Amino acid sequence: MIAMEQTGNGAVSQKIGIMGGTFDPIHYGHLLIAQSAAEEFALEQVLFLPTGRSPHKSEKDVTDPQIRCEMVQIALEDNPKFEISMLEAENTEVNYTYASLQKLKQLYPKAQLYFIMGEDSLDDFPTWKKPEEICRLSTVLVAVRNDKGFGISDKIAEISQMYQADMHMLHAPNFSVSSHDIRKRIHENKSVRYMLPDKVTEYIVQHDLYRE
């Protein structure tokens, strides 16, 4: 259930983080960024949006949405601030961030949305579909590892000015792991211990994922 707070004028306000991605599979890096956002920006809830069809990836390169969603659900079950949204996973069309934010704004009309993105997406942000609409609908948080903050602030300032955006740096712990690395290690029969929740690892083993 999404938490609410009362504003000075009596209106109800919600501070909801939005974390999209393929999550193939979800790992501790994703969870650390979401937890950091919740703490640094006092978010009551963080919604994880596993994508169905991504404009950046071919369907054949991504695991079935239902399987990815089940792994996300397992990873979130012990954190009351984290919740999964099936908005993109159940959409048969290509998912665009601006369109998902429009739908979320309809679902939570009084919410203040915080869209969480990685610093590696910052350079590509102007090429996204309707970046100005993303900035209009949300406060944008750019997740930066603690050792990579230098120089990012200038880029954030540049894009903020370009789109009249409310964009901030999100400081996250250093955790150099990616879903690609995990899939590769599993394929090579290497351990992925300490990279993702044990229950997610168990699910991967049970369903024999990423072997081929």
Q: What are the structural domain ranges in the chain?
A: 12-178
Q: What is the CA radius of gyration of the chain?
A: 17
Q: Tokens at residue 167, please?
A: 């964009």
Over residues 139-197, the pLDDT tens digits come to 999 999 765 556 788 999 999 999 999 999 999 888 889 999 999 999 999 999 999 99
Per-residue confidence (pLDDT) for residue 115, from 0 to 100: 98
Average pLDDT of the chain, as a whole number: 90
Please list, residue by residue across 169-204, b when 16 or more beta carbons sit within 10 angstroms of its beta carbon and e when fewer do.
Answer: bbbbeeeebebeebbeebeeeeebeebbbeebbebb
The answer to whether residue 41 scores a pLDDT higher than 60 is: yes
Please report the pLDDT score of residue 53 as a whole number.
77
How high is the pLDDT of residue 176? Answer: 84
With a pLDDT cut of 70, the percent of the chain lying above it is 89
The fold of 12-178 is Rossmann fold (3.40.50)
pLDDT for 138 equals: 98
Q: Residues near 55 by Cβ (< 8 Å), separated by ≥ 6?
A: 94, 95, 96, 129
pLDDT, position 4: 42
pTM above 0.85, yes or no: yes
